[in-house]
Structure 1
Amino acid sequence: MSHTNLRAPRVAIYARQSVDEDQGIVQQLEDCRAEVHRRGWHVVAEHQDNDTSASKERGPKTAWSAMLKSFDAGEFDTIIVTETSRITRSLIDVLDIRPPRRDIRVVVIREGIDTERDDFMLKQLVLLAEREVRIKTERAARYAVGRRLAGHPTPGMPPHGYNWVPSIERDSAGTRYRIDAADAEDVRRIFREFLAGAPLAQIARDLNDAGRFTRRNVRWGSTTVRRVLMNPLYAALLPPAQPTGEFDSTAIDLNACTPGAWDPIILRDQLVASRGRLLGVRANHSGTARKWLLSGLAVCAVCSHPVRSASGETHPTARKVGGGAAPSRRYHAYRCPNGHFMRNGDIIDQYISNICIARLSQEDVMDLVAPRSDPIDVGVLNSAREALKGRRQSIASFVARGLMTDLEADQSLVEISTELQGISDQIALAVREDPFAELAVVDDVESWWKSATLARRRLLVDALMVVRIRPVGHGRRVTTLEAAATTVAIEWRRD
């Protein structure tokens, strides 16, 4: 009789599952503990691998690896699991725990396996599981190809603006993405503001100020806004697959995308325009968001430098009728970087807002939209783009039939690529939104102005006028709109 039979085994429980759900692990542990207790054995350790596949190599940071090290250190001699599939679906892993490499006793509860008697059944079940995994992988690969050809996205968290449709709720076309009305409006705002000229950080700040959060329920930033503007999924385009862990939105060729089987949130031309502006431009994470209407826009009337925002503080004098001085308070201010003034910004912002509302309420407001000297026909451009894509496909056919050499094909493909890029640039110019365009359907300009994002109001101020703020002298307070009008000069850009 072996030494192992003379004493109760020292048992390590191993629990594993592929999906990150604690309930499955808990049940495995309870079943194993009950079996150990029934046999009168002693548990020395419990090892758990949650959200870990047994058909793939388990790395050094997994519980599996830690368990093998514990055995090598002499801490236990027996592993107990609920099913063979919990240990592995690969014969390679079985050879890690059975002779000649290691002689670990394996007890499998549901299949009634105990390798102290015989490990033949364990190896047979693992071989069958390995074959099942291979068949399932091949089947999944074929399914993935068919799914992609049908324009369906892969499972996972959908982008902001969409909800995933469970299989039981899908329509006859099998649509996986359903538009989320509130989140989709965030996406439309991002594209609308960006194409009107707003900086990424300003768009992010406006979304945060409006109490909007990303799909992961965190605040918006320049990076997340840029990611939205680069994402083909919003135009119902399914990008080509990229290697796992190497996703690069800048490497996506829109012409290689598959039409998606879901509703778009934005137009393809808006996507082309946004990507055209962002591709090749280094992301700026330093932040260009403004908190106030005129910071960085208005200039000092003395030195013409852009004004900066500042925080002022009142210094009340003591009241004449006792009670001491009123408490001081902080206020928003504008200051000249060269020291010519620091003034209360609230009254200036209100004055400029009133001027803008008055101008934009006039009947000729659409005359402010800058006319294009050479109107661009987006429809013609799209037709030209499709024709070029057809030529590109024909070249591959010519090469395959021996009607064109590789060198000739390369030259032609370079020319087509250049023409496609030129068309994309023209479309980007055509769909770039004038900040005044939205006013064509606005009845109440004052209400619209108050609800508009700070980015949109700043764009309109910048398009309409140059604001020059004058010094008012030390100790003088400007508290009325009439007084503000005498200390702020306006030079109209569009009138």
Structure 2
Amino acid sequence: MSPTIAPSPRVAIYARQSEDVDQGIVQQLDDCRKEAVRRNWRVVAEFRDNDTGASKARGPKTDWSKMLREFDAGTFDVLLVTETSRLTRSLTDVLDVCPPRRDMRVVVIREGIDTDIDDFMLKQLVLLAEREVKIKAARAARYAAERRKEGHPGAGKTPHGYRWVPASDRGLTNTRYTINEAEASDVRRIFAEFLAGAPLGQIARDLNDAGRSTRRGARWRSDLVRRILMNPFYAAQLPPAQPTGKHSLANIDVEACTPGAWEAIVGLEQLIAARGRLVGVKPNHNGTARRWLLSGLAVCSVCSEPVRSARGRTHPTARKDGTGTSPSKLYHTYRCVNGHFMRNGDVIDDYVAVMCVARLSEPDAVALLVAQPDGEDISALHNRRDALRASRKNVFRLIDDDPARLADAEDRLNDLEHQLRTLDEEITKVTSRSPFADLVGVEDVRAWWESATLARRRSVVDFLMSVSIRPVGKGRRVATWEAVADSVRLIPKV
């Protein structure tokens, strides 16, 4: 009677690595395939987890979970891996493949492990790997604490406006960020436009119209603009660490930030002012961008409703020589939502622009544009803010030395927090009083106006005057500024 030949086992290959690099996965699969050929085993499935850590829980969407489900379904008999560390660095995962939960045969090529013979070595190597992970984590936490104490950010996505400095180029300052001027100009523009009153959507549209794009080459959106305005990094402030997966710019306490060891792109008062307008306010990403100077600003003189922009179409008559009509053309108009008029918008825009430039060119314009704050200047407010922050730190030190003092210190901490919030509101007000400070000293106001964004021009119009448009009668053309002046009323605000 001839001996019974055992059937060739069905083999599944598992490959994993922490970094998102295809080469490592490809090499693991290639090594496992060669081993399967050497043993005359048949490969029936391959599982790969790229950019997946082995010391953290692997969710239901990973190939690790898929591999376990396939084993439970009877798809394969043997799991083949190159190294124990490719399988896992957690004993919890080992228990997923060993009895009593599962009796999976695992073969590890480089360590010469076969759990069909003995699974002791597999568990020992995983325990050693798990211990190494914990030691590295403790070492990394200590390094991170020292790094934060010196004001250095951790490695990660570098904010738009900065460039990450490699370790070999940091020099004595050891700074991680250096300003990317091309991108930093976008950041400065975003803060300046927002603090001058421009909506988020309008800022995004103006950036796109100017040919600017994000670092990835994408178009700007209002939510991206909002994130920049909320980010303390731009004022060289290092925010406190947040739980993994729960990072939120809105939850960052600027008072808890520490000075960063890199150059600021905007001032701290600008950051405080911007966040003061955004934190706690529900994001609104719809319908805020405008294409024309007066849409939503001017009103109808009959019903006082804000006018809308629209497109008109010419209706040319036949030529005198009988050769037909000239082509019909679209043109920009303003219309009353209640139907009182639809008028050519270009000539009205030009007239309002001329009047704004004339007003900004008058001798008293500087006093209007940069009103002096009532009371302390911005530097004095910052000095008071620094003193309050120092007092708060002293209270926390007292609590650390004697936790029993927490109840007594609670009222003092609440008072300091209230003073800091009040001071931040005052800084926001002072900063907002000078939205057009960049106009001071400008000799050619007309050139400034022509180079300004639509959002900035609209802010100037809204700051200087109220615009009321009157109907002129059906079929009447208003093509000169003199005619516009008779039908467009400008009411000065300042």
Q: Is the aligned partner of 1:118 residue 2:113?
A: no
Q: How does 1:32-431 map to 2 (within 5 A)?
A: 32-369=32-369, 371-372=371-372, 374-399=374-399, 405-431=405-431
Q: CA deviation at 1:370?
A: 5.6
- Kept in 1, the 8 Å contact 2:299–2:467? The answer is yes
Q: Is the aligned partner of 1:20 residue 2:20?
A: yes
Output the CA distance in 2 between the equivalents of 1:467 and 1:412.
51
Output the CA distance in 2 between the equivalents of 1:88 and 1:273.
49
Output the CA distance in 1 between the equivalents of 2:357 and 2:395.
57
Q: Which runs of 5+ in 1 are unaligned?
A: none
Output the CA distance in 1 between the equivalents of 2:110 and 2:461.
74
Deviations along 1:73-124, whole A, 9 cap, x unmatched? Answer: 1111111112111111122222222333323222222223333343333223
Output the CA distance in 2 between the equivalents of 1:278 and 1:93.
44
Does the C-alpha gap of structure 1 residues 327 and 425 become closer, same or farther in structure 2, counting only changes over 3 Å?
Answer: same
TM-score (norm 2): 0.93
Deviations along 1:237-278, whole A, 9 cap, x unmatched? Answer: 111111122223232222211111111111111111112222
Aligned twin of 1:484: 484
- Kept in 2, the 8 Å contact 1:161–1:180? The answer is yes
Q: Which amino acid aligns with 1:104?
A: M
Does the C-alpha gap of structure 1 residues 132 and 403 become closer, same or farther in structure 2, counting only changes over 3 Å?
Answer: closer
State the Cα RMSD in Å: 2.3
Does the C-alpha gap of structure 1 residues 82 and 143 become closer, same or farther in structure 2, counting only changes over 3 Å?
Answer: same
Q: CA deviation at 1:293?
A: 0.3
Q: CA deviation at 1:283?
A: 2.3
Which of 401-410 and 208-217 deviates more? 401-410
TM-score (norm 1): 0.93
Which of 36-45 and 341-350 deviates more? 36-45
Output the CA distance in 2 between the equivalents of 1:52 and 1:400.
39
Output the CA distance in 2 between the equivalents of 1:290 and 1:445.
23
Q: Is the aligned partner of 1:467 residue 2:463?
A: no
Deviations along 1:441-488, whole A, 9 cap, x unmatched? Answer: 323222221110111101111222222222221112223334333332
Does the C-alpha gap of structure 1 residues 95 and 373 become closer, same or farther in structure 2, counting only changes over 3 Å?
Answer: closer
Q: CA deviation at 1:400?
A: 5.6
- Kept in 2, the 8 Å contact 1:357–1:446? The answer is yes
Q: CA deviation at 1:167?
A: 2.2
SS class of match (2:490): strand
Does the C-alpha gap of structure 1 residues 271 and 71 become closer, same or farther in structure 2, counting only changes over 3 Å?
Answer: same
Q: CA deviation at 1:405?
A: 4.5
Q: Which runs of 5+ in 2 are unaligned?
A: none
Q: Which amino acid aligns with 1:80?
A: L
Does the C-alpha gap of structure 1 residues 433 and 165 become closer, same or farther in structure 2, counting only changes over 3 Å?
Answer: farther
Does the C-alpha gap of structure 1 residues 378 and 434 become closer, same or farther in structure 2, counting only changes over 3 Å?
Answer: closer
Output the CA distance in 2 between the equivalents of 1:220 and 1:475.
41
Question: Aligned residues: percent identity?
Answer: 61
Output the CA distance in 2 between the equivalents of 1:311 and 1:135.
68
Q: Which amino acid aligns with 2:437?
A: A
SS class of match (1:99): coil
Output the CA distance in 2 between the equivalents of 1:402 and 1:11.
62
- Kept in 2, the 8 Å contact 1:398–1:404? The answer is no
- Kept in 1, the 8 Å contact 2:153–2:176? The answer is yes
Q: CA deviation at 1:432?
A: 1.6
Number of residues of Structure 1 aligned to a counterpart in Structure 2: 492
SS class of match (2:48): strand
Q: Which amino acid aligns with 1:92?
A: T
Aligned twin of 1:442: 442
Output the CA distance in 1 between the equivalents of 2:475 and 2:261.
66
Which of 442-451 and 224-233 deviates more? 442-451
